[in-house]
Chain A
Amino acid sequence: MTPLVDVQGVTKVYQRDSQQLTVLQALDLTIAEGEYLALMGPSGSGKTTLLNLLAGLDTPTDGSIRVAGEEISRMKPKQLAAWRSRHVGFIFQLYNLIPVLTAVQNVELPLLLTPLKKKERRDHAETALRIVGLEERMDHYPRQLSGGQEQRVGIARAIVTDPTLILADEPTGDLDASSAAEILDLLTRLNTEFGKTIVMVTHDPHAAEQAGRTLHLEKGALLEQRIREGHGAALASAGSDAVQEREP
């Protein structure tokens, strides 16, 4: 079975004034469908860049990225936008809810890009909020919600279009311990109960423990991976290759 995400030889170079900054260097990576992957690494290691590339928010300088069979590394911005709306659910560290819209309106936002009718959109949004356990607060504004609740709305928004990939950038970075735990539980549920493929960037080793596989990035290259006990078999059956390592 082919992997859901196939990254091959991806390099990302930034131009800053006259200097060139290589953030990712000929990186290879595969992600199987239904995986829960954590990306860790110090600041500047390129983990956020990698996440952005997977999300189709940026294109690599070199290399190829295939998601669900589609080659996204050479798509034009307009195509990427359309692709994102169908295939990606993004969870931000600072939630990034639109403050002037209610929780349910925020969740409905991605559905505006689909051909669904108004009533259908509403139903989907309510369902998503139900999944994250925030049904009673759907008409609240973000400022009326706690940090943990805001992030749950963020998660609802990320899953409402039933995307191929859920990408989370430090989802618990701004939360206190108990709220963080709630969020991580939710993400785990999404993976185990609903079979969603999740890639999470995190600083927090405790958060990473929830994932089935953790990859470490340093200076643009994957260093090591840790596979959780029992997870290796699942990976093998999904046809995932072992991570190819390169010299840092």
Chain B
Amino acid sequence: MTRGTIVRANLRRRLRRTILTVLGLAVAIFLFVTLRTFLRTLQTVGDVGSESRLITSNKLGIVFPLPLAYRARLTSQEGVHTVSYATWFGAIYQDPRNFFANFAIDAESYLALYPEIVVSDAQRQAWLADRTGALVGSRLMEQFGWSVGQTVTLTGTIFPGEHTFNIRGAYEAGMRGFDERSFLFHHRYFDEIARISGGDGVAGWYVLGVSDPERAPAIAQSIDASYENSAAPTRTQTEKAFNLAFVGLYGNIGFFLNAIGLAVVFAILMVSANTMAMSARERFSEVAVLKTLGFTDTDVLRLVLTEAAVVAGLGLVLGLGGALLVFNLGSFDLGGFIPGLVVTPQIALVAAGIALLIALASGAVPAWQSARLKVVDALRYVA
């Protein structure tokens, strides 16, 4: 028997209480880690964006297109090795609530710029050869139960009408966090559709591959300067910056998620501190006995804190472990909506810190009370 035996025995004294406390803590830590993970992923969506790709869009905003005629000048820009372009199509599949990204791209150049789009050679060739062909992300294929070779019809919102496509390939993300829920088709097919309403001859945005990322800011400035006084001025920025701008659209969401996380931690702190204090109160007489035997205040403090630490530690393992299982191992990402949900070491560290804080705080009050307990007074409880 050791001091550890005492701690273990105390934890098993009211097993249900210990288990409930551990579970409550685990739940709170799981929730906290989940919130933090969501937040981090939303905020670091820029990590997925590349620094060696530039996005040139209309300065007024992404809803305004750019002339296809810009292509020539962009291709001749020094430092840019490849130019591609894409346009948001915004169609829906059957139910408007089935939201997914569908856009037209200049196929060959786009695939050259995005090695993250991984597709077999055979499917790639088949897609390039088919004017109405579609290259679809694997998660999207799963969601709608589509298969390669199938013909699907999308309903246009910006470009009215029913539009048919032949799915020629399914792509996978070559990098964690890269979107696997997009529907890509050929820009020349888009041009045909758009011509009906006079909306052809434009592109939603350009993607530029730069050879030297260090030169990206200078290149961006040069491009924007040249179009500054035109009918469609541009804004050019790295893809990273472009993605981050989308995060800014959420507004204060970071603040609110953190606030919720805080409330969660507080609530569970109340609960576990309360439980520890109750347990300690029930054992004052035993503390008196220990002190009579010669255990010092420090000894008693250590026992109390060890107990609290074990509870907090178990809660941390279950809560954090659960989150790791769901996100890191299980790759849960809300059906692909928020790709790259992963618990980072920093988040795990914060969670551990919180568990430690809870252990200290819940152990503090009973430890302090026990220390203050004058043995002779306590013995009166006892005898």
A86 to B293, CA, bound (A): 9
- Among A81, A98, A101, A122, point to the contact of B291 (Cβ < 8 A): A81
Contacts of A150 in B (CB 8 A): none
Max chain B CB contacts within 10 Å: which of A48, A96, A108, A110? Answer: A96
Q: Mark A161-198, 1 if CB is under 8 A from B, else 0.
A: 00000000110000000000000000000000000000
The A-contacting residues of B in range 1-55, CB under 8 angstroms, are: 1-3, 5-6, 9-10, 12-13
Q: State the Cβ distance, B328 to closest chain A Cβ, in Å.
A: 38
A105 to B375, CA, bound (A): 22
Number of interface residues of A (CB under 8 A): 36
Q: State the Cβ distance, B8 to closest chain A Cβ, in Å.
A: 9
A108 to B297, CA, bound (A): 19
- Given known A109-B293, A110-B294, contact A96–B285 (CB-CB < 8 A): yes
A33 to B126, CA, bound (A): 104
Q: Does B122 contact A (CB under 8 A)?
A: no
A218 to B375, CA, bound (A): 24
When the two chains form their complex, are residues A112 and B13 in contact, meaning their CB atoms are under 8 A apart?
no
Contacts of A170 in B (CB 8 A): 383
Stretch of A36-44, A52-60, A220-228 with 4 or more beta carbons under 8 angstroms from chain B: A52-60
Q: Mark B232-261, 1 if CB is under 8 A from A, else 0.
A: 000000000000000000000000000000
Q: Does A236 contact B (CB under 8 A)?
A: no
Number of interface residues of B (CB under 8 A): 27
A93 nearest CB neighbor, chain B only: B383
When the two chains form their complex, are residues B293 and A122 in contact, meaning their CB atoms are under 8 A apart?
no
Contacts of B108 in A (CB 8 A): none
When the two chains form their complex, are residues A77 and B297 in contact, meaning their CB atoms are under 8 A apart?
yes
Q: Does B211 contact A (CB under 8 A)?
A: no
Contacts of B293 in A (CB 8 A): 84-85, 90, 109-110, 113, 157
A110 to B290, CA, bound (A): 8
Contacts of B3 in A (CB 8 A): 112
- Among A78, A86, A96, A109, point to the contact of B382 (Cβ < 8 A): A96
Max chain B CB contacts within 10 Å: which of A48, A93, A112, A113? Answer: A112
Q: Does B296 contact A (CB under 8 A)?
A: yes
Q: State the Cβ distance, A209 to closest chain B Cβ, in Å.
A: 23
The A-contacting residues of B in range 341-383, CB under 8 angstroms, are: 375-376, 379, 382-383
What total of A-B pairs shows CB separation below 8 Å? 80
Q: Does B295 contact A (CB under 8 A)?
A: yes
Contacts of A85 in B (CB 8 A): 293-295
Q: State the Cβ distance, A45 to closest chain B Cβ, in Å.
A: 15
- Among B10, B288, B296, point to the contact of A81 (Cβ < 8 A): B296
A113 nearest CB neighbor, chain B only: B294
- Among A82, A99, A105, point to the contact of B294 (Cβ < 8 A): A82
Q: State the Cβ distance, B246 to closest chain A Cβ, in Å.
A: 57
- Among B1, B9, B299, point to the contact of A108 (Cβ < 8 A): B1
Contacts of A169 in B (CB 8 A): 383
The B-contacting residues of A in range 72-100, CB under 8 angstroms, are: 77-78, 81-86, 88, 90, 92-94, 96, 98-100
The main secondary structure of chain A at its interface with chain B is helix
Q: State the Cβ distance, B372 to closest chain A Cβ, in Å.
A: 11
When the two chains form their complex, are residues A100 and B12 in contact, meaning their CB atoms are under 8 A apart?
yes
Contacts of A121 in B (CB 8 A): 1
When the two chains form their complex, are residues A78 and B296 in contact, meaning their CB atoms are under 8 A apart?
yes
A48 to B375, CA, bound (A): 13
B380 nearest CB neighbor, chain A only: A48
Q: Does A206 contact B (CB under 8 A)?
A: no
- Given known A92-B382, A101-B6, contact A81–B376 (CB-CB < 8 A): no
Contacts of A157 in B (CB 8 A): 293
A144 to B96, CA, bound (A): 70
A111 nearest CB neighbor, chain B only: B1
- Given known A93-B383, A121-B1, A122-B1, contact A100–B9 (CB-CB < 8 A): yes
A83 to B5, CA, bound (A): 24
A105 nearest CB neighbor, chain B only: B1
Contacts of A92 in B (CB 8 A): 289, 379, 382-383
Contacts of B289 in A (CB 8 A): 92, 96, 98
Contacts of A52 in B (CB 8 A): 376, 379
A110 to B292, CA, bound (A): 10
Q: Mark A103-120, 1 if CB is under 8 A from B, else 0.
A: 011001110110000100
A52 to B374, CA, bound (A): 12
Q: Does B192 contact A (CB under 8 A)?
A: no
A178 to B69, CA, bound (A): 111
Contacts of A83 in B (CB 8 A): 294
Q: Mark B281-315, 1 if CB is under 8 A from A, else 0.
A: 00001101111111111010000000000000000
The A-contacting residues of B in range 189-213, CB under 8 angstroms, are: none
A/B interface sample: 12 pairs, CB < 8 A? A57-B375, A81-B294, A84-B292, A90-B292, A92-B383, A96-B285, A96-B382, A100-B10, A101-B9, A110-B293, A113-B299, A169-B383
New A-B contacts (19) at CB < 8 Å, excluding given A78-B297, A112-B1: A48-B383, A52-B379, A57-B292, A81-B295, A82-B294, A84-B292, A84-B294, A85-B293, A85-B295, A88-B294, A92-B379, A93-B383, A96-B382, A98-B6, A98-B9, A101-B6, A112-B2, A113-B294, A113-B295
CB-CB nearest 10 A-B residue pairs: A85-B294, A100-B9, A84-B294, A81-B296, A96-B289, A105-B1, A100-B13, A110-B293, A58-B376, A81-B294
